[in-house]
Amino acid sequence: MRNQRVLLLVEIAIFAALGYVLDMIGFGMPQGGSVTFVLVPVILIAFRRGIAAGLVTGFLIGLLQVVTGRFYAAPLSFEIVILQVAIDYFIAFMVAGFAGFLRPAFLQAFENKDTKKMAFAVIGGTLIAAFLRYLAHTLSGILFFGEFAGDQNVILYSLVYNSTYMIPVFLLAAFICTVLFVKAPRLVLPNR
């Protein structure tokens, strides 16, 4: 039992470090946000070990970004910046762990050797991860980055702006995870 817990913690640490590194690969948007591969390790650990492991991994990715200075803070007071950073980094990456909601569907499809249902479970989990992250960034945009909207509606601006990078993030992660999980399901099965 103790070895299993240690193995889980090591996997979480490895996937968090991998997510941090993969977040450096891609291209950034002019006012924040970027198209990277950061969701892939969070989704992988969420499908491999469950929602809690995904949440912790996402939280650690956000923590790594903050402690290494790889974050963008709104030009506001210190107290408000803390809330903005919490939403944009800790919460936004942490909620991607909810991709694990579709882990049981994936495992059932794997047992039935139904690759189509496996793919649907992975795409659905990726959609959950990307959508919840999108909501966090959109909320942050509405609350803290309204000056970028100019004369436009702040809510609409944040919805549109954040979709410009989160849709490609979703598509990349869905493609990569689907190919990985369907072609190499052992990545998702820790005890096999």
- CB atoms closer than 10 angstroms to residue 39: 29
What does the pLDDT look like over 68-106, one tens digit per residue? 987 777 777 777 888 999 999 999 999 999 999 999 999
The domain segmentation of the chain, as residue ranges, is 2-187
Of 5, 16, 109, 111, nearest to 58 by C-alpha is 16
Q: How far apart are the first and last CA of the chain?
A: 17
What does the pLDDT look like over 159-173, one tens digit per residue? 999 999 999 999 999
What percent of the chain is modeled with pLDDT above 90? 73
Residue with tokens 């491999």: 48
Model pTM score: 0.92
CATH of domain 2-187: 1.10.1760.20
- Whole-number Å distance between alpha carbons of 70 and 164: 21
